[in-house]
């Protein structure tokens, strides 16, 4: 998800030729208000490097990538998924695509992939953001049972910085779709914390299925430090239908809240949903904030204010 020139872009996992998991593409929708959405043509299609798995998109405001001739543009960072040559072992590598026309068309970067690691079979879902203090790009990436952090000056060459989570939080499934955001603590005098969001996949031993946890701490541009005990598990919510959610890039809200949206399903039953031509949906967008509670600082959330404004508008129309 990324906001650019008045539009919220939502890219989502999509199999255009079926209602169960298959060759993954990036579907694409845009909105000006987070309420009304318009479907656009498929953004990214599989190519010689593999299927298009999850990732993120950013505005390259200063053309650090050199892909836009000095102007701002959109860069998608995603996982290419195929198999190792002469093997049935899955291979996952990180690649780029870019758009010079507000996301209406996309060009694969000619030197894809830009990041690979043969040590991990599960090596995916890059979430990239600009770290203002360090003046570099940061990528947080799922690597098996933990996350890794990489840095870059140009979005094309990435350097390993650190890793987190091998012995922290819940490991009741593979780690996926991480996100790292900075939020102010409500009611404080300039106090901010970093929130690391991590989804964990379905495991047959646990009835909850796929769900999302988070960690609260500090991030110095290279290393994340958890401020809770290693065995503390904080769940983003306790519902069954909010998975693999991440936040929008390049959105500035008045109170610095972050906008979050998830997949409204669960790996326990997503392929069994009794539908013929329709398959799944996204949750309502949410605003994430940090609040101090008796148990400590916690993430709180509510539907985006645009939905409340729509409700008031509809109520006024009915009353008239």
Q: What is the pLDDT of residues 77-102, one digit of tens each?
A: 999 999 999 999 999 999 999 999 99
Q: Residue 20 — very low, low, confident or very high, per pLDDT cuts 50/70/90?
A: confident
DSSP string over 250-277: S---TT-PEEEEEESS-TTTGGG---SS
Q: Residue 71 — very low, low, confident or very high, per pLDDT cuts 50/70/90?
A: very high
The token pair at 241 is: 């239908």
Nearest to 302 by CA among 286, 285, 284, 291: 286
**What is the rounded average pLDDT of the residues 184-195?**
95
Cα–Cα distance measured from residue 136 to residue 227, given in angstroms and rounded to the nearest whole number: 24
Residue 64 is predicted with a pLDDT of 98
Residue appearing with tokens 């998109």? 57
Is pTM beyond 0.85 here? yes
Cα–Cα distance measured from residue 167 to residue 48, given in angstroms and rounded to the nearest whole number: 37
Q: Report the chain's mean pLDDT, rounded to a whole number.
A: 95
Q: What is the pLDDT of residues 116-137, one digit of tens each?
A: 999 999 999 999 999 999 999 9
Q: Are 164 and 226 in contact (CB under 8 A)?
A: yes
**What is the rounded average pLDDT of the residues 2-12?**
98
Residue 311 pLDDT > 90, yes or no?
no
Residue 279 is predicted with a pLDDT of 81
Cα–Cα distance measured from residue 283 to residue 18, given in angstroms and rounded to the nearest whole number: 21
Q: Are 300 and 184 in contact (CB under 8 A)?
A: no
Q: Are 129 and 147 in contact (CB under 8 A)?
A: no
Q: What is the pLDDT of residues 27-61, one digit of tens each?
A: 999 999 999 999 999 999 999 999 999 999 999 99
**What is the rounded average pLDDT of the residues 201-228?**
96
Residue 314 pLDDT > 90, yes or no?
no
* Three-class DSSP category at 15: coil
**β-pairing verdict for 146-152 and 7-14:** unpaired
Q: Residue 309 — very low, low, confident or very high, per pLDDT cuts 50/70/90?
A: confident
Residue 210 is predicted with a pLDDT of 96
Cα–Cα distance measured from residue 41 to residue 21, given in angstroms and rounded to the nearest whole number: 19
């Amino acid at each position: 998800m990324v906001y650019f020139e008045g539009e919220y872009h939502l890219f989502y996992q999509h199999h255009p030729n079926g209602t169960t998991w298959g060759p993954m593409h990036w579907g694409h929708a845009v909105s000006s208000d987070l309420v009304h959405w318009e479907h656009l043509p498929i953004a990214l299609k599989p190519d010689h490097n593999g299927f298009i798995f999850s990732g993120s998109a950013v505005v390259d405001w200063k053309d650090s990538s050199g892909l836009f001739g000095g102007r701002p543009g959109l860069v998608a960072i995603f996982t290419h998924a195929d198999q190792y040559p002469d093997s049935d072992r899955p291979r996952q590598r990180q690649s780029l695509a870019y758009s010079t026309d507000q996301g209406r068309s996309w060009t694969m970067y000619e030197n894809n992939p830009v990041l690979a690691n043969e040590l991990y079979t599960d090596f995916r879902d890059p979430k990239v953001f600009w770290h203002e203090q360090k003046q570099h790009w940061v990528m947080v990436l799922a690597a098996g049972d933990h996350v890794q952090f990489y840095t870059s000056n140009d979005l094309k060459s990435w350097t390993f910085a650190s890793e987190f989570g091998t012995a922290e939080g819940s490991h009741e499934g593979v780690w996926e779709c991480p996100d790292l955001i900075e939020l102010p603590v409500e009611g404080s005098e300039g106090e901010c914390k970093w929130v690391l969001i991590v989804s964990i996949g379905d495991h047959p031993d646990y009835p909850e299925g796929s769900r999302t946890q988070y960690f609260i701490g500090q991030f110095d541009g290279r290393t994340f430090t958890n401020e809770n005990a290693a065995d503390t598990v904080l769940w983003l919510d306790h519902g069954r239908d909010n998975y693999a959610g991440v936040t929008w890039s390049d959105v500035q809200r008045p109170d610095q809240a972050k906008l979050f949206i998830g997949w409204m399903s669960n790996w326990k039953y997503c392929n069994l949903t009794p539908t013929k031509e329709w398959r799944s949906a996204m949750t309502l967008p949410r605003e994430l904030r940090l609040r101090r509670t008796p148990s400590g600082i916690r993430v709180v959330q509510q539907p985006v204010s645009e939905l409340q404004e729509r409700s008031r508008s509809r109520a006024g129309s009915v009353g008239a």
